[in-house]
Each structure stands twice: as structure tokens, then as C-alpha cells.
Amino acid sequence: MKLAYYPGCSLKGTSFEYEVSLLKVLEALNIEIQEIPDWNCCGASAAHNLNHNLSVALPARNLAIAENSGFEEVLAPCAACSSRLKTAKYEMAADNILKKRITDSLEMPYNNSLNISNMLEFLLNIAGKEKIKSLVKKPLSGLKVASYYGCLLVRPPKVMQFDDAEKPVSMDELVALTDAVPVDYSYKTECCGAINSLSKPDVVMALTGKILYDMKEHGADLVVVACPLCHSNLDVRQREIERKYAEKIGLPVLFITELLGLSFGFSPKELAIDGHMVNADKVLEKIL
């Protein structure tokens, strides 16, 4: 099966650590992925906020290119991208008129046949737990890890068709494979404020702060995510949140692929963990 890779804009910019680490992990798992040729931005939140048809047409171009290149499966590691690709597929299946308008505009045939996976789905379904477990050379024993899912991996469930919308466990299962301890806490799927980080920073810091302090209270050493925007709010804004609420947090935020990579024996540098704003050295000292 030919596996397509849709990196999206964040993985080529502010969240480059996610791409570096997922490429390392998939290489170790011996899974070959190929970037969709000449991919474009999925339109993210802006498109569906302002123009519904455009929010379907922009991701549809990527799906059509992938399908016409002979791919059957698309990996979209960014939760927002995977949500937009899945939504485009869902909308085109439900609305034939819109689908025809889009294929006419793209001047490409398109059958809407691709399967789209977020990072967690891809790891669990394509690689599988056994294979991942077999590569764990450096068990992360005793490390307490809070998995943060946010919104778009699981909601809305009728479109995402992944895990439980209120109490997901898939990322915790991946964490457990590394021998780290999954931390149970209250706000696994509570929103971090997402795209309003620049336009409404006070609201985003209130939401993100609530999540981070709750993880801390439940004893987490570090946080794992599978979304660049969640990462950005939890990592980049963390110092400012500490200042605003005058209470230290000090929780490094890793992508799930970085945590797996560490357990596979890659160094933090190889996984670009030094690219994060919250320094992870002290926490990782315990296990490395």
C-alpha cells in the first residue's frame, strides 16, 4: 500500500520538531511515506470560519492529487489538517453538487476513496502496538506522562471516527508501550484556545493554564500532544502563563513521536526536543 504524507504548514515552520521526530520514528518502524506532490494549505480554521465551500475545496485538492498519484492512505500528523481533510471527505460524500463543483474546478477526477489518518491512528493501525513495543530499547520507566488530545483528533465523532470523544485512550496506550506511566487528569479533551492564540491571547492563556495546572496537580512530569497548535499553546505560552498566574508549571511538552523516539533510543537532539521553548533536560535526566 502506498502511503501519502500531508505535512501541512506548521510542520514546515513553528512545529518542525514534529516532522523531524515522526520521520525518525517511521524510519525505525520501516514504514515508507511520500509527501503529496505540490500540496497546499488545508485552509485550517480560517477557511471554515469565513467560507464553507473554500474550506472543502482547499483540502480536496490535496486529496485529489494523492488519489490520482495512486495513494490509498494519507497520514496527516497535524490534528487540524487531519480534521480538515476528514471533513472535506465527509462533506463531499454528503453533498454531490459541491463535490462536482470542486472536481470541475480542479479539473481532476476524484472518487473520494482515500483513508485519512491522524498520527495516533496511523501509529496504531499501520505500525501496530506489537511492532512499536518491539522497538522499545530504552524503557521510560517511572516517567509520568499526561496525554493531551485537545479537540480535533476526536471531535466531531461522526466525522473523525476515532477513539472516544469524551475520554480517549489511544495516546495513553502509546505512552504505556514505552513503559512510561499514563497520567489520568480532567482536561484531556478540553480546548486550549487553538487558533485564537494571537488574536485573543488572554482567553487562550486562561484555557491553556487550566489544562497545564490540572496536569501538574495530577503529578505529570511531562506532556505529550499530537497537534502543532496544542503544542504551541502549551509550550510557547507556558512561561507567560506562569507569570500571569504567579505559579510555576515547568512541564515540557513533547510530540508523541518524540516520546516514542526516546524509547527507541534516539537522543533528544536527534528528535529536535531542543527546539521546544520549555526545556526538557531536567525531566529527561531521570530516564536517559
Partner 1 sequence: MKTVINEQQRRNFVGEVESKLHDKLAKCYQCGKCSAGCPVNFEMDYTPNQIIKMTELGMIDNVLNSKTIWLCVSCNTCSTRCPKGFEVAGIMDVLREVAARKGIKSKTEKEIQTFHEVFLDNVKSNGRIFELELVGKYKLKTKHLFRDMFLAPKMIEKGKLKMHSDKVSNISQIAKIFKDFE
List interacting residues with partner 1 (CB under 8 A).
Answer: 9-10, 12-16, 38-41, 43-54, 57-58, 61, 94, 101, 105-106, 151-152, 155-157, 165-166, 189-191, 193-196, 198-201, 203, 206-207, 236, 274-277
* Residue whose CB is less far from partner 1, 151 or 183: 151
3-state secondary structure the chain: CCEEECCCCHHHCCCHHHHHHHHHHHHHCCCCCEECCCCCCCCHHHHHHHCHHHHHHHHHHHHHHHHHCCCCEEECCCHHHHHHHHHHHHHHHHCHHHHHHHHHHHCCCCCCCCEEECHHHHHHHHHCHHHHHHCCCCCCCCCEEEEECCCCCCCCHHHHCCCCCCCCCHHHHHHHHCCCEECCCCCCCCCCCHHHHCCCHHHHHHHHHHHHHHHHHCCCCEEEECCHHHHHHHHHCHHHHHHHHCCCCCCCEEEHHHHHHHHCCCCCCCCCHHHCCCCCHHHHHCCC
Q: For residue 54, give Cα distances in angstroms to 9, 49, 149, 199, 225.
A: 17, 10, 27, 22, 28
Q: Nearest 5°: phi and psi at 6?
A: -110, 95
Place of cell 475520554: 167
CB of 176 vs partner 1, minimal distance in Å: 26
Minimum distance from CB of 38 to partner 1 (Å)?
5
Of 207 and 224, the one with the shorter C-beta distance to partner 1 is 207
If the CB atoms of residues 75 and 153 are measured against partner 1, the closer one turns out to be: 153
Q: Cβ of residue 196: shortest distance to partner 1, in angstroms?
A: 6
CB of 244 to partner 1, least distance (A): 13
Using the minimum distance from each CB to partner 1, give the nearer residue, 147 or 178: 147
Beta carbon nearer to partner 1, 174 or 207: 207
Q: Taking the complex as a whole, how short is the minimal distance between the CB of residue 87 and partner 1, in angstroms?
A: 10
- Give the residue with the Cβ less far from partner 1, 126 or 277: 277
What cell does 233 get? 499553546
**Closest listed residue to residue 192, CA positions, set 162, 222, 223, 219:** 223
Minimum distance from residue 89 beta carbon to partner 1 (Å): 16
Cβ 270 to partner 1, closest distance in Å?
A: 15
State in angstroms the smallest separation of the CB of 255 from partner 1.
14
Measured from the CB atom, the residue of 15 and 147 that comes closer to partner 1 is 15
Closer Cβ to partner 1, 230 or 251, answer by number: 230
